[in-house]
Amino acid sequence: MAAAIVLIAGVYVLTSPTARASAVVLVPYHTVYSISGGQLNAVDFTIQTTSVVNGTFTNTLGIIVYIFTPEELVNLTLKGQVTGYQWTSGVIANLTVDSIDVTVTPGAWDLTFVNPNLFNTTIVGFWSNVTLSPS
């Protein structure tokens, strides 16, 4: 799969005591991604403490969600191969509401929404903020 990457703005770093006390929004409620066939959208973030990624979304044609290291995402975008990941949703059927509730360790990560359908665009809509909070 030759995938183009669309990085959603920003790198999130939780370092200050104030930042650790509250959730950081990675993807705001009501955001809509239009992901062309065989493409992906990725949100990169870096954390200093173990944290939880949490949120709810739906899609129109089926997607796969991953939490990758930057190197794993590069493998997907350059080679079209998933060589490893921290977490995956597996294939999420069309018109399904699904939730993310995943603990990640300190480091750099990419929350990635992949459209495995090579021929059709899918729409991903967020029913809640996707947040990053210290665990």
pLDDT, tens digit, 9 for 90 and up, residues 43-56? 999 999 999 999 99
The reported pLDDT for the residue numbered 16 is 37
Say how far apart CA 107 and CA 98 lie, in whole Å.
Answer: 25
Q: Considering only CA atoms, which of 122, 124, 42, 48 is closest in space to residue 85?
A: 42
CA distances from 126 to 73, 80, 97 (A): 22, 26, 9
- For the chain, give every domain's residue range: 5-15+27-134
Q: Domain 5-15+27-134 carries which CATH code?
A: 2.60.120.680
Residue 120, number of CB atoms within 10 A of its CB: 13
Instruction: Convert the pLDDT of each residue in 85-98 to its tens digit.
Output: 999 999 999 988 99
